[in-house]
Homo-oligomer: A and B are copies of this chain.
Amino acid sequence: MMIVVMKSDATVKQTSTVIKKIQELGFEPHLSKGEEKTIVGMVGSGKKVEPEIFMAIPGVDSVVPILKPFKLASREFQKRPTIIPFNGFTIGGDEVIVMAGPCSVESREQTLEAADAVVKAGAKVLRGGAYKPRTSPYSFQGLGEEGLKILKEASDRTGLAIVTEVMSPDKVELVAKYADILQIGARNMQNYSLLEAVGKSTRPVLLKRGMMSTIEELLMAAEYILANGNPNVMLCERGIRTFEKYTRNTLDISAVPIIKQLSHLPVIIDPSHASGKRELVDPMSKCAIAAGADGLIIEVHPHPEEALSDGAQSLHPEEFDKLMIGLKTIAAAVNKKI
């Protein structure tokens, strides 16, 4: 279903071309002639049509798609929320799940220390990067498989599930061997080869919104994963790029209720990357829960001032402890537990 708007000086012949095209495509044309403009509606069902097809016809001013471009990800397709089950907890239900841990897996000691701290404070999932997408080729790029093994050890020791990033299609199988949740980073949100690869995995996926992506594009990226057979996708808002300079990114908190309206998929907030500043993690985490988020992913480092990456936005274990206590009160105020 689409509306083709003709230019005000479009000829009758140009409008006819549009009508004919609509019929050729197996749809029904609905003509409305106003005083200044003529529009043609395309109604009915047929094969998928790209709006661009009409844009290229002379006399066409614009094309307005009426239907949303995503399907499997839409609330219209699936009314009930997607609830992703793990050993002993779920994501997308009544509980707010907290994922926490260091930006990068730097060493066995650092990771185990972080894991011990976050499990004690109430986290359910350990985060930590073994493969790191860095803007500079000269920055620390992660420990690779060695890092995955350390994460596994931390998981075995604490019972925490593991979420970690995968950066290329050929590494999906390897990462899935160690991780419970595959993370797609913001910079790879539209890396379609990678989306297809995780779509074929049986592991749940945490898909981060690109810092330059609309909510619709995020849902389209999720659609790639769903269409490849993997129904367990969580969407993660981690800040978008704006002109504001005091924060690294701007947390788009309204994405939470909007995604809940448009889609059945759970929504996770990353307050650490969204703000880039340790002191904002507490208020932004509270915000996220008040807005209805299903989970949080938070950077915690045993010694932030020695972190190889993201130290400025990582919490100390004691700060994380305190944060978790405050979050419980907020969660209760919106009828959730944590």
Contacts and interface: CB of A to CB of B under 8 A. Distances in A.
Given A67-B37, A254-B251, A56 B305 contact: yes
A250 interface: yes
Given A41-B41, A257-B280, A261-B279, A243 B246 contact: no
Q: How many copies of this kind of chain does the complex include?
A: 4
A107 interface: no
B137 A223 contact: yes
Interface string A273-301: 01100111001101101111000000000
B44 A34 contact: yes
Interface stretch (A86-94, A114-122, A207-215): A207-215
A170 interface: yes
A34 B32 CA distance: 16
A252 interface: yes
Interface stretch (A150-158, A174-182, A188-196): A188-196
B30 A32 contact: yes
A280 B305 contact: no
Given A56-B314, A135-B220, A290-B286, A212 B215 contact: no
A305 B14 CA distance: 12
Contacts of A50: 139, 308-309
A190 B168 CA distance: 12
A43 interface: yes
Contacts of A262: 246
A201 to B, nearest CB: 16
B254 A241 contact: no
B36 A305 contact: no
Contact of A244 (B53, B169, B214, B278): B214
A284 to B, nearest CB: 6
B52 A39 contact: no
Interface of A: 1, 3, 5, 8, 30, 32-37, 39, 41, 43-45, 48, 50, 52-53, 55-57, 64, 66-67, 69-70, 76, 133-139, 167-170, 187-188, 190-194, 210-217, 220, 223-224, 227-228, 240-247, 250-258, 261-262, 274-275, 278-280, 283-284, 286-287, 289-292, 304-312, 314, 329-330, 332-334
Given A50-B309, A64-B64, A170-B170, 11 more contacts: A34-B67, A35-B44, A52-B311, A137-B223, A214-B245, A215-B246, A240-B250, A242-B250, A244-B252, A246-B258, A290-B330
